[in-house]
């Protein structure tokens, strides 16, 4: 079996377990079992366990299904909402004027 290289950056490897822990805590606060959430999200219980560990091998869609089942789907709207760098780059391009074409001397 060929193993895939894990291309997650170090910062992402630190963030994902925290995301998984937050999802797990949200489930526990609601008093839901892992089996119930997995069933409602139409995923395997083992997939939910991977999500709660912050695994990068689980699809984003599975994370989204679990958030929906927990009633946290609106949290997805906050992803990349405040794209400060992107806005600065966009504004810089807007302010950059392109050169006028060279005039031919007649």
- pLDDT-derived band of residue 13, with 50, 70 and 90 as boundaries? confident
The predicted structure's pLDDT at residue 78: 87
Q: How far is 40 from 78, CA to CA, in rounded Å? A: 23
Tell me the per-residue pLDDT of 54-102, one tens digit each, with 9 for 90 and over. 998 999 999 999 999 999 999 888 888 888 888 888 887 765 556 666 7
Q: Residue 22: exposed, middle, or buried by beta-carbon count in 10 A (0-12, 13-18, 19+)?
A: middle
Residue 16: name the closest of 52, 43, 48, 47 by CA.
Answer: 52
In order of their start, the domains of the chain are 10-81 (1.10.260.40)
Q: What percent of the chain has pLDDT over 70?
A: 83
Q: CA-to-CA distance for 66 and 40, rounded, in angstroms?
A: 8
């Amino acid at each position: 079996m060929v193993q895939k290289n894990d291309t997650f950056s170090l910062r992402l490897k630190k963030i994902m377990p925290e995301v998984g822990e937050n999802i797990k805590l949200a489930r526990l606060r609601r008093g839901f079992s892992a089996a119930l959430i997995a069933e409602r999200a139409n995923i395997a219980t083992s997939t939910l366990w991977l999500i709660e560990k912050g695994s990068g091998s689980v699809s984003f869609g599975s994370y989204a299904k679990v958030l929906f089942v927990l009633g946290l789907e609106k949290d997805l709207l906050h992803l990349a909402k405040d794209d400060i760098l992107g806005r600065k780059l966009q504004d810089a391009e807007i302010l950059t004027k392109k050169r006028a074409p060279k005039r031919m001397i007649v």
